[in-house]
Structure 1
């Protein structure tokens, strides 16, 4: 609950300190003022539950302060207890009550009397706070129910519309076939009816899936699967709708394998729903992008488009059941609008997350899915090698750290041909942890990387008790003398300038082998 404020007004500091000591309790904030002017300033800032006013003060006395409070809309309802020296005569009491006072307390103040009279106002204000909070909660619940009811009505209207769409050509197709059309026309009608029946089945499947997920009746068939396989399945499913809109689909996959433990069918369904949404809500000849990459221990799937966008106020509701963005129903090319609710539930079942970002109407939208990725594994070279580099004692463990996936992959191919084990890392922030787990004989380390450059990574390796003696080779596009001096200062053992050829790389690694021998 919010704090409760009492205002103490007395021109003597020692009286204020005495009142403060007597009234102090949890949840109560005591505001102190030594003049009427100072008290008015506090009253305009804080919601005061009770004011204790000294009657006799120089300048503005307690009665005058009370009269000013009664004349102000903000302070007129603040309860006032006057604190006065000695007994107050009837005339003074009459003036006090006329200004709105609820009580008088005489000095010297008796502790029990003070606490009993002020406790009433503390508890009253606390109850008012609780009632207000309950009222706000009830109003919020009522508004949520009204919102859900409106969404349900809109959903049922859309559902009726979407079911009638395929049913109409099915009904008419039956009528056409009953008239014994020629074989060519009959074949056209059957193809049309087959398409509409498939569309109807998909609508029903979406409804059943949402119901099963909501009731926890879907069991995931998880297995290790390559991200590229899941993406390929999703793109194949969505290609007809994307082509129908004459959209351009740009798919970017990492050049290195990423695996996840997931239900391949359901994750393909997640990506497919996002791609279908992008196709439906993007005008003809739009551009849709599907980007897949690894970030730390997560697989990141990003689907973006240059379509009709999502208003800022709707982005927090877009994954809720029955939610339709106003105006989007008529601009979409079919669908019930429950796909995103299903997508979110499936992602959560895979211990992942999904978010949306849009700059507003006609500014496109971007959906980002994050799923736990399986640890990067060491890839071993073939068991036989015509050059004999993989003989015992000549096989090294190489950690390659480069944010450019293509460069890292190419280096990996060379290392594989040379008979070495290797691990590729594309994020400088993960390099030290990967090194501790992999225990490499040598590190091929890029310099110009985001977040943390190669110099900083090298220094971290040199400070680590486990990795401090590892051979670290700078592999960079910077080749000036000053660049070589910088790598030496950072702790590198060697400096190779890109593009690094096989002879250079082999020469450096042979030195490592000889050093080990």
Structure 2
């Protein structure tokens, strides 16, 4: 590292010849010599320049070298400048002590020995260079820290903006899903609903459930990017997960003409895991197999328990296969088996690996080479099978009788409001609907509801303002916030605003029933 600033020495002597001779001996690259012919002139130079070493002649008219040194020691700017006194005669002990007290580091007698002078000058020159380099390094470090702080501030602000964007996006995506879920519930609870309709509704609800999970993931992007995925652990039948993933991937697989089969060594295969994340794992495996298999290929799925007591799922295809050199890299982020195809971002298998590790399991891949297909295998600890375990299906819930009550629904989304009202009517409630906050206050004044399901994000008068006005009419009315805003801070805000509950769209019919139990 080389200093960008020159090192400065101060030479003070009342005789020009002495200054010229001294400068001739000291001159070197990177050294700037400042010359003064009196103590007063030297002080003026010291006010303008930062000096690394001063050579002071002791015997000068008006102001001696000792007097100049004392003035230098009394000033903050020049207090630490090292001083070498130059003297034409012998310096007695008393004067030498005085010189050291004023900050002298040495005395050089005249005529000056060039070798001694150069040795001492070189030492201070090198020290000054190291000091200057350190100072410049510190300046660069401060500048880098300031830039880092600025970048961190920008990243923090972009993170805030990203969270706001994702929250709004999730809110807007949830709104159209809410009436669909409620409509499905109404279909299967209707009298004499055919079994085919119940089965179809179950399939539709399962797919919508996956959409809801994906929407929720939007709010967890930061945690996902940092590997901090919170698993919702429960007892899961991995065979059911495989079946659901196959059903979900069926359209894509059929579009490529692939034959898909599934064989399990066990009727049911229980594990402790996050159902949605395991669904995501198997779906990625199936999608990968379908994508890298030629048209009319064959995909075989198998599950069972291995010798170590782990539940496993394998997905084997007869597709392109994986070369020996690429096999170790396929689970790396953004890595693709064939980058020329440019299909997807290359993160699917990385997610599979991370999710399986979070489950305490693992993933592996084998291939006999290009053109010979490949097999992907996941595993995680199996649980002891419970005899009473049965698959969970959507069916008519047990009829729950509610005493009639007056319930109002407020939402600027007409379809959402209307279908919730229809559901509440089927539950025996007396209902009214309002499509904005101002209308809600008018209806509440006349209808006098016992419970209100209130959307929060409405134009003109939002749910918070409408709730405040309605509370003035009836402090005891139970109000439930219903919104696509589902962050913890949103729930905390609605609670602080006086709401008795907070339901995140899409609201499940069973959640509506739970709220109704507060008044019925």
The normalised TM-score by structure 2 is 0.35
| Higher RCO (C-alpha 8 Å, min separation 6) | 2
> Which structure would you say has the larger Rg?
2
TM-score, normalised with respect to structure 1: 0.35
